[in-house]
Structure 1
Amino acid sequence: MPGAVYSGRGALRKIREITEGRFKKAALFTDRGVEQAGLLKIPLEILNEAGVETVVITDLPAEPNCDEAEQVMERFRRTGADFIVAAGGGSVMDVAKLASITADGSLTVRQLLEDPGLGRKCVPTLMIPTTAGTGSEATMNSIVAVPEKQLKVGIVNPEMIPDYVILDGSLLKNLPRKIAAATGVDAMAHAVECFTSNKANPFSNLFAKEAAKLIFDNIEAACEDPEAEEAKTNMLIAAFYAGAAISSSGTTAVHALSYPLGGKYHIPHGVSNAMLLLPVMRFNKSACLKEFAELYDTVVGKELQITDEEKADRLLKRMEEIIRRLEIPSSLSTFGIGTDALEELVNAGMDVKRLLNNNKREITHEDARRLYLEVMHG
Structure 2
Amino acid sequence: MQDFTFKVPQSIEFGLGSLKKLPGILKENKSEHVFLISDEGLAKLGVVKKIQDIIETDGLTCTVYLGVVPNPTVDVVNDATKNYQESGATSIVAIGGGSAMDVAKTTGVLATYSGEITDYEGLHKVPGPIVPIIAVPTTAGTGSEVSASAVITDEARNYKMSVISHEMLPKYAVLDPDMIMTAPASIAAACGIDALIHAMEAYLSRNASPFTDAMAEKAMALIGPNLRQFVANRQDKEAACAMMVGSTFAGMSFAWAKLGDIHAMSHPLSAYFHVVHGVANAILLPTILEYNMIADRGRYEKIYNYIRTSAQPAANFEPEMLVDEVKKLSAALGMPTTLSEVGVTEDKFQEMAEDAMKSPNIAVNPRLTTIKDVIALYQKAL
TM-score > 0.5 by shorter chain: yes
Shift in Å, 1:33: 1.0
Cα 1:365–1:118 shift into 2, 3 Å:
closer
CA contact (8 A) 1:102 1:119 kept: no
Which residue is 1:198 aligned to?
206
The separation in 1 between residues aligned to 2:112 and 2:221, in whole angstroms, is 42
Corresponding residue for residue 4 of structure 2: none
The corresponding residue for 1:280 is: 288
The farther-off stretch of 275-284 and 100-109 is: 100-109
What pairs up with 1:60-79 in 2 under 5 angstroms?
60-79=68-87
Deviations 1:178-236 (A, max 9, x none): 11111111111110000000101100000001111111111112112131122112111
Mapped contact 1:2–1:165 kept (Cα < 8 A): no
What is the deviation of 1:349? 2.1
What is the one-letter code of the residue matched to 2:362? L
**Contact 1:290–1:308 (CA under 8 A) maintained in structure 2:** no
**227-236 vs 23-32, which moves further:** 227-236
Q: Which amino acid aligns with 1:282?
A: E
Give the equivalent residue in structure 2 for 1:223.
231
Deviations 1:41-85 (A, max 9, x none): 332222112211000100112111223222221111111111110
1: CA distance, partners of 2:11 / 2:122: 30
- State, as a whole percentage, how many aligned pairs show the same letter: 29
The Cα shift of 1:2 comes to 4.5
The counterpart of 1:147, out of the listed 141, 155, 159, is: 155
Q: 1:115 to 1:217 in 2, by over 3 A?
A: closer
Give the equivalent residue in structure 1 for 2:315.
306
Out of 81, 84, 87, the position equivalent to 2:92 is 84
1:15 to 22, 31, 38: 22
The 1:282/1:347 distance shift into structure 2, 3 A limit, reads same
Q: Which 10-residue stretch deviates more, 316-325 or 182-191?
A: 316-325
- 2:331 equivalent to 1:324: yes
Counterpart of 1:240?
A: 248
Letter in 2 for 1:245: S
The worse-fitting range, judged by mean Cα deviation, of 166-175 and 108-117 is 108-117
Counterpart-to-counterpart distance in 1, 2:123 and 2:212: 25
Runs of 5+ consecutive residues of structure 2 not aligned to the other structure: 1-7
Q: Which deviates the most, 138-147 or 127-136?
A: 138-147
Q: Which amino acid aligns with 2:350?
A: E
- Aligned equivalents of 2:220, 2:189: Cα separation in 1: 15
Which residue type is aligned with residue 278 of structure 2?
G
Question: What does residue 346 of structure 1 align with?
Answer: 353
| Displacement after TM superposition at 1:102 (Å) | 2.1
- Residue of structure 1 aligned with 2:363, choices 357, 361, 364: 357
Deviation at 1:94, TM superposition (A): 0.9
Give the structure 2 partner of residue 163 of structure 1: 171
More helix by share: 1
Using the alignment, how far apart are the partners of 1:307 and 1:364 within structure 2? 32
Code of the aligned partner of 1:340? D
Aligned mates of 1:195, 1:335 — CA distance in 2: 28
| Structure 2 residue 373 is the aligned partner of structure 1 residue 367 | yes
CA distance in 2, matches of 1:31, 1:199: 34
Match of 2:275 in 1: 267
- SS in structure 1 of the partner of residue 187 of structure 2: helix
**Counterpart in the other structure of 1:108:** 116
Give unpaired runs (5+ residues) of structure 1. Answer: none
Match of 1:38 among 46, 69, 94: 46
| Structure-1 separation of matches of 2:125 and 2:366 | 27
Q: Aligned letter for 1:306?
A: A
- What is the RMSD computed on CA atoms of the aligned residues? 1.9
Instruction: Tell me the secondary structure at the aligned position of residue 131 of structure 1.
Output: coil
The CA deviation string for residues 142-188 of structure 1, in whole angstroms up to 9 with x for no partner, is 11112233221210111111111111111112211111111111111
- Counterpart amino acid of 1:325? A
Cα distance in 2 between the residues matched to 1:196 and 1:5:
26
In structure 1, which of residues 125, 141, 147 is the aligned counterpart of residue 133 of structure 2? Answer: 125
Match of 1:315 among 322, 330, 333: 322
- CA displacement at 1:268 relative to structure 2: 1.6
- After superposition, the Cα gap between the structure-2 partners of 1:206 and 1:55, relative to the gap in structure 1 and judged at 3 Å, is same
Kept after mapping to 2: 8 A contact 1:169/1:230? no
CA distance in 1, matches of 2:127, 2:107: 10
Provide closer, same or farther for how the CA distance between residues 164 and 261 of structure 1 changes in structure 2, counting only shifts above 3 A.
same
Counterpart residue identity of residue 91, structure 1 = S
AA aligned opposite 1:316: V
Deviation at 1:13, TM superposition (A): 1.2
CA distance in 1: counterparts of 2:101 and 2:286, whole angstroms: 27
Cα deviation 1:277-321 (Å, max 9, x = unaligned): 111011111212411123334556674x73452xx3333332221
CA distance in 2, matches of 1:98, 1:363: 30
